[in-house]
């Protein structure tokens, strides 16, 4: 069992305001097109994953940095309204991080992130959060913070007995030393391909890539494949999880919904396979609504969503 019931979840990660333009299609290189609408949503992989787990009912703490500006105010207010504990979020003079997102009619997107205040998250903040929560639980990290901060958090949390979950997005090299301390690694197929230098065009390709990470010391590897589902590998087993078929409106934060739901399930003490199916449902639900954090479902919403599907989990 990776998690024990009632264990807290700590997310150390990015906090961004998403600036979203919706258009019929994504522009080609050098092309200007007219969009249909513009919206702003609270986002950032860290903030999204914290919100996803908290909306499901987990006890969630968030550590990160925002600027002393209106975007920072909005991000803090959004987290607090979703019951995320925010005492480990610091405010800095840099502007709050932003993500420029273009979404097409099929729900696919392109994203450019400007980190801003996220780059100020450092060791002292990691130490304060790890010690302040009071008991080792599940730690979630991503790659939208400085590399040295993420590596320090992995080492410190590993020594303290935390279950460490890493979403290596955006993809960058990770040493075998770091991988050996990670309990669950959750890249998407593009990130896994970049990190292993392996083409991933099928479930079997994904399993082979996952086994590379397992052989490097990762406990469990989950490679998400979008509409094709996900594969999961450990030293003992491997499996494929089918994605639920839905009409996608906006795929922004689908991966974050998946990670938040999986860690929530593990914090309840559920086995990995059950957690993966629940995460698949949470991700499918999220793509039926626009925005990052506004698209994330509550436990009741996701359970009702699954009951309404023609094929049950």
pLDDT attached to residue 4: 58
pLDDT attached to residue 5: 62
User: What is the DSSP code (8-state) at residue 226?
Assistant: G
Question: How far apart are the C-alpha atoms of 14 and 180, rounded to whole Å?
Answer: 24
Whether 124 shows a pLDDT value over 90: the answer reads yes
User: 2 in a domain, yes or no?
Assistant: no
pLDDT attached to residue 310: 62
Residue 22 structure tokens: 């919706």
pLDDT attached to residue 311: 52
List pLDDT tens digits, range 179-192: 999 999 999 999 99
Q: Do residues 25 and 105 touch, judged by C-beta distance below 8 A?
A: yes
Read off the pLDDT band of 294 (50, 70, 90): confident
Whether 1 shows a pLDDT value over 90: the answer reads no
User: 32 in a domain, yes or no?
Assistant: no
pLDDT attached to residue 286: 92
Q: Is 256 a catalytic residue?
A: yes
Q: Do residues 96 and 120 touch, judged by C-beta distance below 8 A?
A: no
Q: Which residue has the higher pLDDT, 313 or 87?
A: 87
The domain tally of the chain equals 1
We report the CATH number of the domain holding residue 232 as 3.40.1190.20
User: 200 in a domain, yes or no?
Assistant: yes
Read off the pLDDT band of 313 (50, 70, 90): very low
pLDDT attached to residue 85: 98
User: 171 in a domain, yes or no?
Assistant: yes
Q: Which domain holds residue 259?
A: 9-26+38-307
User: 33 in a domain, yes or no?
Assistant: no
User: 313 in a domain, yes or no?
Assistant: no
User: 312 in a domain, yes or no?
Assistant: no
pLDDT attached to residue 55: 96
User: 135 in a domain, yes or no?
Assistant: yes
Query: Rounded mean pLDDT of 111-116?
Result: 90
Query: Rounded mean pLDDT of 114-132?
Result: 96
Spot the catalytic one: 18, 183, 205, 256.
Answer: 256
């Amino acid at each position: 069992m990776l998690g024990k019931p009632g264990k807290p979840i700590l997310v150390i990660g990015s906090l961004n305001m998403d600036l979203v333009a919706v258009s019929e299609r994504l522009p080609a290189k050098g092309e200007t097109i007219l969009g249909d609408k513009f919206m702003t949503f609270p986002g950032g992989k860290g903030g999204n994953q914290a919100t996803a787990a908290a909306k499901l009912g987990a006890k969630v703490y968030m550590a990160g940095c925002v600027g002393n500006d209106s975007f920072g105010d909005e991000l803090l207010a959004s987290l607090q309204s979703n019951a995320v504990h925010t005492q480990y979020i610091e405010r800095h003079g840099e502007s709050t991080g932003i993500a420029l997102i273009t979404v097409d009619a099929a729900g696919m997107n392109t994203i450019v992130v400007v980190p801003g205040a996220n780059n100020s998250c450092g060791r002292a903040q990691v130490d304060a959060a790890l010690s302040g929560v009071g008991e080792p639980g599940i730690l979630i990290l991503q790659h939208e913070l400085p590399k040295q901060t993420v590596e320090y958090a992995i080492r410190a949390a590993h020594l303290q007995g935390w279950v460490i979950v890493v979403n290596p997005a955006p993809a960058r090299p990770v040493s075998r030393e770091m991988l050996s301390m990670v309990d669950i690694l959750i890249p998407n197929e593009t990130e896994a391909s970049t990190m292993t230098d392996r083409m991933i065009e099928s479930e079997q390709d994904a399993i082979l890539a996952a086994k590379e990470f397992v052989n490097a010391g990762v406990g469990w590897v989950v490679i998400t494949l979008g509409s094709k589902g996900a594969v999961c590998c450990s030293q003992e087993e491997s499996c494929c999880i089918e994605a639920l078929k839905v009409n996608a409106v906006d795929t922004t934060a689908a991966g974050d919904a998946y990670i938040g739901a999986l860690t929530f399930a593990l914090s309840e003490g559920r086995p990995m396979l059950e957690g993966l199916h629940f995460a698949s449902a949470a991700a499918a639900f999220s793509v039926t609504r626009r925005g990052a954090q506004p698209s994330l479902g509550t436990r009741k919403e996701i359970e009702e969503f699954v009951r309404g599907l023609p094929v049950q989990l």
